[in-house]
Amino acid sequence: MTDLVLVRKGAYHDSVSLMRVSRALGELPGMEAAMVAMATELNVSVVREMGFEVPATEPGDLLVALRGRDPGTAAGELDRRLAELGGRRGAGGGGRAEDPPLTTRSAAARGHADLVLVSVPGEHAFCEAVDAVEAGLPVMVFSDGVPLRLERRLKELGEERGVLVMGPDCGTAVIAGVGLGFANVLRPGPVGVVAASGTGAQQVTSLLDWAGTGVSHVLGVGGRDLSAEVGGLSTLRALRMLDDDPATELVVLVSKPPAPGVAARVREAVAAMRTPVVEAFLDEGDLTGAAEAALRALGRPVPGWPCWDVPAGRGRPGGGTLRGLYSGGTLKAEAELVTGLSGTFVDYGDDAYTRGRPHPMIDPTLRLDALSRVAPGDVVLMDVVLGHGADPDPAAALAPAVARVPGPVVVALVGTASDPQDLRRQAAAFQEAGAAVFLSNAQAARHARSLS
């Protein structure tokens, strides 16, 4: 194998785009490893840990590390894909293009936007978000790694300026039908969602969509907003905003168990709202139950949630350890609560696993490795999350691996019929691979528990 390391000056691209390029290069014939990323301190250290010799770089450089039989061919493919990214970024109408702004503050000053999305390394996210808030714009901070004290200060500043701060570590939002981050394609409707959980919001809204009920907005607030340190500042503002929204007839509040004092403040605010609220706190029930409660509150029927069972004669012996291989932290936490188990469940979307790697909703590598090591008789429970931002065809890589697992596999498929991955096609592929597939993560967890 041959190593090739390239440094490109002044070639900035966002991290999600570069993750996709890395994955595409890594899948080329003869390639063993590929990483294309901005040369931040973290990314440089990851490339060195992969065994590459890295020359002197600056954080604004593009770092390319390739290992394979012919990395020069991969470098040619890299040039093509980067040119495509540059073309999409520069696409527009005729005439001379306006010079791009160099800072969030200067972009906000142009007055062309009504929301700012921040997706930069965590150590830089606070400053960019502050620029947005001081310009009077709501902000979604996709970045993680922002210290709690700075999250609190950012949200206090948001209160002073009267704007909503979504995040840090806000992976999902839907604003008037427009998805941000990891977002499913949802029909419009009367339910507003405030979510301190991205995958939790995706589960609830996907179930509502299956039941024929749409959403007005999904306002993510970041997984730590209901902690004692942050105090629910963004949750309280988001609740007020949805209460004032004429298109919202019901609010669903999704979160892992909140801090007791914060929960009390939130319930006090809920009691003063005109719009009814359904709480979906994991310590009080599962997300499927919350979706059903929302449907009942609207006077709408609760459907039977679909299950694509294992084909006849394709069952595998179970009875062993139940192993949870999750990409969504809230879905993993819900499965632990439903099954009463925890020690054998892993959230591969946790910061400990995504350091220098694409999120498992984009890149299946870590879960493919885990599937290859499942012992005979052990039961696998895993989520597959669809929607914009996620793997465009998760079954293409995961279903063959599922077919090789010696024990039972249960899949919680989180998505809607309108998602670009095609929900029914994904379900059929996993079913054909020998898995039982559920739209409800809670039902999938109960079924998996019965097999172990």
Q: Are residues 79 and 122 in the same domain?
A: no
| 338, part of any domain | yes
Give per-residue pLDDT as tens, 147-160: 999 999 999 999 99
Q: HEC string of 170-185?
A: CCEEEECCEEEECECC
* The pLDDT of residue 393: 96
Q: Are residues 268 and 344 in the same domain?
A: no
Mean pLDDT of 318-327: 95
Q: Are residues 352 and 285 in the same domain?
A: no
| 262, part of any domain | yes
∠13-153-38 over CA atoms, to 5°?
Answer: 15
- Find the domain containing 332 and state its range: 307-451
Q: Are residues 348 and 384 in the same domain?
A: yes
Q: Cα separation of 286 and 280, whole Å?
A: 7
Q: Which of 256, 271, 297 is the last residue of a domain?
A: 297
Mean pLDDT of 403-418: 97
The pTM assigned to this predicted structure is 0.85
Q: Are residues 286 and 358 in the same domain?
A: no
∠103-107-112 over CA atoms, to 5°?
Answer: 165
The order of strands in the sheet holding 172-175 is 178-181, 172-175, 215-220, 188-195, 250-255, 277-281
Give per-residue pLDDT as tens, 241-282: 999 999 999 999 999 899 999 999 999 999 999 999 999 999
Q: Name the band, by pLDDT with cuts 50, 70 and 90, for residue 356.
A: low
pLDDT above 70: residue 318: yes
Q: CB neighbours of 441 closer than 8 A, spacing ≥ 6? A: 203, 286, 287, 288, 331, 334, 335, 383, 412, 414
Q: Name the band, by pLDDT with cuts 50, 70 and 90, for residue 49.
A: confident
Q: CB neighbours of 300 closer than 8 A, spacing ≥ 6? A: 211, 212, 213
Q: Are residues 112 and 165 in the same domain?
A: yes
Q: Are residues 276 and 323 in the same domain?
A: no
Provide the percentage of residues in the chain whose pLDDT is more than 70. Answer: 96
Q: Name the band, by pLDDT with cuts 50, 70 and 90, for residue 103.
A: confident
Q: Are residues 112 and 256 in the same domain?
A: yes
Give per-residue pLDDT as tens, 288-305: 999 999 999 999 999 999
∠267-218-270 over CA atoms, to 5°?
Answer: 15
Q: Which of 251, 278, 297 is the last residue of a domain?
A: 297
Mean pLDDT of 41-61: 87
**Preceding peptide of 392 cis, ω within 30°:** no
Overall domain count for the chain: 3
| 98, part of any domain | no
Q: CB neighbours of 134 closer than 8 A, spacing ≥ 6? A: 105, 157, 161
Q: Are residues 130 and 251 in the same domain?
A: yes
Q: Cα separation of 334 and 367, whole Å?
A: 19
CATH number of 50's domain: 3.30.70
Q: Are residues 155 and 124 in the same domain?
A: yes
| 431, part of any domain | yes
Q: Which residue has the higher pLDDT, 403 or 109?
A: 403
Residue from 410, 394, 414 nearest 206 by CA = 414
Q: Are residues 238 and 333 in the same domain?
A: no
Q: Are residues 342 and 443 in the same domain?
A: yes
pLDDT above 90: residue 417: yes
| 302, part of any domain | no
| 96, part of any domain | no
* The pLDDT of residue 92: 46
CATH number of 287's domain: 3.40.50.261
| 265, part of any domain | yes
Contact (Cβ atoms closer than 8 angstroms) between residue 339 and residue 449: yes
> CA 230, 234, 235, 237 torsion: positive or negative?
positive
